[in-house]
Amino acid sequence: MIKLTDYMKAIQGENNTPALDLGVIELDGAYVCDMLSDVMGSAKPKQAWITIMKHLNVIAVASMTGIPVIVLSKGNVPDAAVIDKATEEGIALISSPLPSFELAGILYSQLKA
């Protein structure tokens, strides 16, 4: 397990949901996918969800699946309505300039270290 805040430092992660306490979130893996049903079928709680999708349904999918944090790759930043919904549901929304491949690779090496 690693702390989300340690992962964020390694990926130049920007927190879009400052109202949430990110210090309590720990990760034991990630799921990388842009198809929402596949995420619901296979992602697990304690995993970060790495995606480029940033519309409102993404928050619902994370909430239903029990995912604590969504990491938006390639500098994607969500709309205010999406950020509000994420805050309401207690799901952290992080933006990183890195592509999904690197985001997964960095988390993988941090977990194996």
| Interacting residues with another protein (CB under 8 A) | 34-38, 40-41, 45, 53, 55-58, 60-61, 63-66
6 or 38, CB closer to another protein?
Answer: 38
Minimal distance in Å, beta carbon 65 to another protein?
A: 6
Q: Are 27 and 107 a contacting pair, CB within 8 Å?
A: yes
**Residue at 21: amino acid letter:** D
19 or 52, CB closer to another protein?
Answer: 52
Return the structure tokens found at 88: 């309401």
36 or 50, CB closer to another protein?
Answer: 36
Minimal distance in Å, beta carbon 60 to another protein?
A: 4
Minimal distance in Å, beta carbon 35 to another protein?
A: 4
Minimal distance in Å, beta carbon 40 to another protein?
A: 5
Listed residue (53, 49, 28, 52) closest to 40, CA to CA: 49
Q: E strand or H helix at 96, and its extent?
A: none
Q: Are 96 and 34 a contacting pair, CB within 8 Å?
A: no
90 or 97, CB closer to another protein?
Answer: 90
Alpha helices in the chain (DSSP H): 4-10, 36-42, 56-65, 80-89, 100-112
